[in-house]
Every structure is written in structure tokens, then in C-alpha cells.
Amino acid sequence: MHSYLVHMARGITSLMDSIDPFVARMMLSLKRERPGLLAVAFHGLFQSHEDVYSSATVPSFGTTVQNLSSFIEYFYQSGYKFISPDEILTGLDPSGYYVFLTFDDGYFNNFNALPVLEKYDVPAVFFIPTGHVRTGKAFWWDVVHRRCEDLGYASQEVPHVCSRLQEMRNPEIESFLIKRLGPGALSTVGDLDRPMNQEELARLARDPHVYMGNHSDGHAALPNCTESEIAEQIATCQAELERMTGKTATVLSYPHGLYSPTVIRIAARIGLHLGVTSLRGKTGLPLRKADHMLLKRNTLWESRDQLAQYQRFRSDVGLYRAWTAIRHTVQMHPLGTE
């Protein structure tokens, strides 16, 4: 029964995802969208389409420099302003249209963003899992992608395998990979998949367009952790960012988009004032205090039509995001719980 429900949910999700581009285009042709704060996530940033689809990294997490430039130009022309975390905290005009540009995971390839940020004079937040900066180890999802056959999985199974692994703690995931692939399982394969080192992170942080963001020390799925582990993950990242870059993060990106009321409470106690989720859509204005730690965020995919994605980001109506928000609410607050 559970397998049937999971299959049905995936089918509904896929259907709504395919319909949404038409809905977005229709809505934008009928009326101007409401003001709001549009946060957008990038991960790997590559010089070419071929690099995106190399075996080094999960291709759905990457895009090209050209697509980043096109994205910025489109939203500038659509009347949006690119803003920093400081501007969000200072307060936004309720009638404004804003983009909050972010990069997750601290890949070395994120240096490709700097010329683009300078060209268009836009700020961006780089969310750094500081443990990977210290150790240089590969991100486990990239390992699963490029070694899936060695792990006994077909390539189309990788997203579902990664979803299951996200339910585990990082030491358990890494132990699983080392046991199956050997002691070098978490080694990187080159500049395409490796995290920045400490010297590179410090150099990145010196750019005037760059803001530092907390992504936990070990890119941990924080709801899987105890309260003390959550605090350690966030506080260690905060301290390490200050040590490595001299900058203090004010914003947290929840690793894997996973959070809970406990995670939010601990993050706020440690000194984080903003949090970005993986729930799609725009955060409405005026921005309420309750929204600060639950900012919606969208991911730009290399494999999909770029203009259609921009229109979906802007549209006030989205079947897919409404459906996923319902599913998320049920997962966060199951029936019979407070």
C-alpha cells in the first residue's frame, strides 16, 4: 500500500510539473505578478554544457555561466532588483520586485560566478559547509552519481537512492560509501567536483559582491540530528566562516532543504536572522518576521527550458509548488501531532 501511495504521489508531482509552464505563461500574459522576494539557488557553475554533464557531479545541480548571465539579464529587464541579506534585514519596499541570488555547497567552480557578479554589479550569498572546506572531501551525492554502478544502482535510481540516504546521518552515509567503495570513496576527481580550500574561500569572501552564508559544518540533514548536534553543526560553521573569511553569516541555507521548528529555534539562538528553504515560489511582501527563517527558494535547472523556468519563478500560480507545499506541511505536521 505504501509503495502504491508513493508511486501515485510521484505521478501527481510529475503531472503538475509538466503543466506549470503553460499555467505560468498564461498568468503572466493576463496580469502583472504580485510584488515579492524571489530567492534562487545555484550549485555547481560551469563554463560549458559538457562540464555540467560530465560524470563528476550530479548534473541536475549544475548550470552554465551563460545561463547565469541570461538569468540576471532577464530579471533586470523584468524590473527586478538584486539584493543582499543586509537589504532584506533592513526592510524591503512592499511594492518592489527583488531577487536574492544564492550558491550552495562551496564548490570551487563557484569562482566562475565572480566575473558575472562584477559585470552586472549584483550581490550573491555563498552557502559554505565548512567541514568540506577543511577536509576537501567530495560531496556524497556526487559520489553516488558517478559510482552508482559500483554501488549496484542504475543511473535512473540515483535520485531515489539519494532521498533515502538523506534520512541518515552523515557518518552513516560516509560509512556506507566507504564500506561499498573502499577507503578512497570520498576523494574528489578534479576541479569540477571539489570544494574550495581555505585559501580559496578567503579569496572569494574578499570580493565586494560576495556574502557568506551558513550551510552547517558537514552539510548535515539537520532534522536527523539531536539538538546538541544541530547546535554544533550550525555554531561550528559560523565560527569557521569567521575564522576563514573574517565575515559573519546572517543567513542559513538548510542542507537538503530540510528543517524543523527545532532547527529554526537553534539557528536563531546562534545568531542567524534569515533562512532559505527549498519550497518553490516567491515570498510575499511585506516580509513578516515569521517569514525570515522560511524564505522560499527556486533552483534553475540546466536541462529545462530557461525562459519557461523564469516565467514559473515569476508566476503567482504554481500547481507543482502548491502540491509540494501541501506534502511538506503533512510531513512537518502529521495527523495526530501538535
Q: What is the pLDDT along the chain (338 residues), one digit of tens a residue?
A: 545 555 555 555 566 566 777 677 777 778 789 999 999 999 999 999 999 999 999 998 899 999 999 999 999 999 999 999 999 999 999 999 999 999 999 999 999 999 999 999 999 999 999 999 999 999 999 999 999 999 999 999 999 999 999 999 999 999 999 999 999 999 999 999 999 999 999 999 999 999 999 999 999 999 999 999 999 999 999 999 999 999 999 999 999 999 999 999 999 999 999 999 999 999 999 999 999 999 999 999 898 899 999 999 998 876 666 655 555 554 444 433 33
The pLDDT, as a whole number, for residue 18 is 67
5 and 69, same domain (yes or no): no
- Is residue 239 in some structural domain? yes
Q: What is the CATH number of the domain that holds 222?
A: 3.20.20.370
- Is residue 326 in some structural domain? yes
The pLDDT, as a whole number, for residue 334 is 42
Residue 221 to residue 241: CA distance in whole angstroms: 19
122 and 214, same domain (yes or no): yes
User: If you search the block for the grid coordinates 530579471, which residue do you land on?
Assistant: 75
Q: Are 41 and 276 in contact (CB under 8 A)?
A: yes
The pLDDT, as a whole number, for residue 336 is 39
Residue 128 to residue 162: CA distance in whole angstroms: 20
- Is residue 162 in some structural domain? no
22 and 61, same domain (yes or no): no
The pLDDT, as a whole number, for residue 215 is 98
pTM: 0.90
The pLDDT, as a whole number, for residue 4 is 52
Q: Are 204 and 210 in contact (CB under 8 A)?
A: yes
Q: Are 37 and 287 in contact (CB under 8 A)?
A: yes
29 and 106, same domain (yes or no): no
What does the buried/exposed string (b/e) look like for 144-178 if buried means 16 or more CB atoms within 10 Å of the residue's CB? bbbebeebeeeeeebeebbeebbeeebeebbebbe
- Is residue 288 in some structural domain? yes
The pLDDT, as a whole number, for residue 273 is 98
Domain coverage including residue 238: 34-137+188-314
- Is residue 333 in some structural domain? yes
- Is residue 183 in some structural domain? no
Please give the grid coordinates belonging to residue 70.
541570461
pLDDT tens figures, 38-91 = 999 999 999 999 999 999 999 988 999 999 999 999 999 999 999 999 999 999
The pLDDT, as a whole number, for residue 186 is 97
329 and 225, same domain (yes or no): no
92 and 236, same domain (yes or no): yes
Query: Which of 264, 281, 276, 285 lies closest to 324, judged by CA?
Result: 281
Please give the grid coordinates belonging to residue 47.
563554463
Q: Are 241 and 212 in contact (CB under 8 A)?
A: yes
- Is residue 85 in some structural domain? yes
123 and 217, same domain (yes or no): yes
- Is residue 118 in some structural domain? yes
* Domain count for the chain: 2
Query: Which of 204, 40, 47 lies closest to 128, judged by CA?
Result: 204
